[in-house]
Structure 1
Amino acid sequence: MDEDLWSILIALENNTRREMLKTLANYDSYGLELSKMIGVSQQAINKQLEILEKLGLISTNGSMPSTMGPPRKVYRSMGFSTITIDYSRNFMSIKKMDIDYDNDNVDGDNSDLVHELDVLNHEINQIDRKRNLMTAKKDMIIGRLKEKAAGYDNFYRKIIYEYLETMDSSTVSQNTGVPVEMVERIINDFLSE
């Protein structure tokens, strides 16, 4: 699994870190302010800030003067991406795509921007529904193919299942240590039945 994706999943497993990332996605903040907003001790927040910074999901963005001591480190969120996790009866897939910000300017008054946001949210929801139907169909197809592969011995089944996951003989060869020619022969035998 991609190292960046793994970092994000580690960060998201903890409720406090999720709340911190959500807050920092809205605006830069410092430990004491995050502590008050989230309702967790400042010591716990500082520990989570350290973890998030090591994972590359936040970074320091200067400091803010304090009347009660040294300047406060200000943090901001980093590394924006979309993650999809498919977990079904017959397959599991986790993918990360970095958000690609193009150079299009977003202009308009507040009303125009809110309307555009509403349209985008609607379109994303439609895509999600279509993706859900496609994922269900993919699950049924993989299930059917796995039923057909059930009669093969464990070695052949492993190659076939790995191929169904990756759809690439070279990747199957790398993941299993089986020569590409043998992988292709097993897959061709399976497909010809």
Structure 2
Amino acid sequence: MAELDKLLSVIENPTRRRILEALVREPHYPLQLSKELGISQQAVMKHLKVLEAYGLVRSYREESDLGGPMRKKFYPALNFTIVVDVSPNLFSAELISRRDNVLPEYGRGAERDDDFEENVKALRQKSASIDAQLEELRHQREKLIREKESIMDEANRLMTCMEDYQLRRIMYEFISHPEMELSDIARALSIRDEVVIHALKEWLRSKG
């Protein structure tokens, strides 16, 4: 969760999100971002330093079109997805890193494309196809999330018979995250492993 918390603390700022949105389109230098976002270069540089410190952007230098000093252009440098689910019976926050993805090579001039119009049309069609598939996946995911919510709603009703608060916390994690080992549950709840093991053993013994 530590890495997720750091990333959320960075991208919660709307100006930084606007900067990232601009950089995704193409690399920008601070003056460009200042004009596009309507804020000072000083403010832009402040946000870029934060983004750079957390590895979300990098930079390279290129010659100025006006013959001035070399200028620094920034581009996005981290691939990740954040998924957050919140409902009365479910909370989940997950960071999915895709660090193995190869970043585009910036700073190189593009070659002339004689079939520009056809290529644009083909790219739009591919993009539309991918968007349609992603939308279908979202619908499937929403259905599964509703099923998980139903499971946790039933689990919460079952746990109302447990008087011990600590045991209810442990059982919630035990049911909600079946992939987790007992040591993982202990770490997630910031309690000792033996506390989790003892609580579950005592509960099973009481039911035996």
TM class, shorter-length? 0.7 to 0.9
3-state SS of 2:193 partner? coil
Bigger drift between 134-143 and 50-59 goes to 134-143
Match of 1:174 in 2: 187
Structure 2 residue aligned with 1:154, among 162, 165, 168?
Answer: 165
Query: Which residue number corresponds to residue 77 of structure 1?
Result: 76
Distance 1:183 1:116 in 2: 54
Task: Please say which of residues 169-178 and 7-16 is displaced more in the overlay.
Answer: 169-178
Distance in 2, matches of 1:89 and 1:66, equals 56
Task: Give CA-to-partner distance per residue, 1:39-96, whole Å, 9 cap, x none.
Answer: 1111111110111101110011224437597432211111112221111112211112
2:58 maps to 59
1:11 offset after TM fit, Å?
2.2
Residue identity matched to 2:91: M
Cα distance in 1, alignment partners of residues 60 and 199 from structure 2? 51
Please tell me the root mean square deviation across aligned C-alpha atoms, in Å.
2.7
Contact 2:84 2:91 in 1 (8 A): yes
Q: Is the 8 A contact 2:63 2:69 kept in 1?
A: no
What CA distance in whole angstroms lies between the structure 2 residues aligned with 1:171 and 1:86? 20
2:161 & 2:71 partners in 1: Cα distance? Answer: 64
Q: Percent identity?
A: 26
Contact 1:160/1:186 (8 A) holds in 2? no
The answer to whether structure 1 residue 127 and structure 2 residue 137 are counterparts is: yes
What SS class does the counterpart of residue 29 from structure 1 fall into?
Answer: coil
- Residue 6 of structure 1 corresponds to 5
CA distance in structure 2 between the aligned counterparts of 1:91 and 1:189, rounded to whole angstroms: 28
* Partners of 1:116 and 1:26 in 2: CA distance: 18
Q: Is the 8 A contact 1:172 1:183 kept in 2?
A: no
Listed as ranges, the matches of 1:101-116 within 5 Å are: 101=101, 109-116=119-126
8 Å Cα contact 1:64-1:71 kept in structure 2: yes
**AA in 2 matched with 1:178:** D
User: Could you tell me whether the CA contact under 8 Å between 1:66 and 1:72 is conserved in 2?
Assistant: no
Amino acid at match of 2:167: Y
The unaligned stretches of length 5 or more in structure 2 are: 103-117
Whether the aligned pair in 1 keeps the contact of 2:167 and 2:200 (CA below 8 Å) is: no
The normalised TM-score by structure 2 is 0.78
Q: Give the equivalent residue in structure 2 for 1:38.
A: 37
- Stretches of structure 1 that go unaligned for 5 or more consecutive residues are 103-107
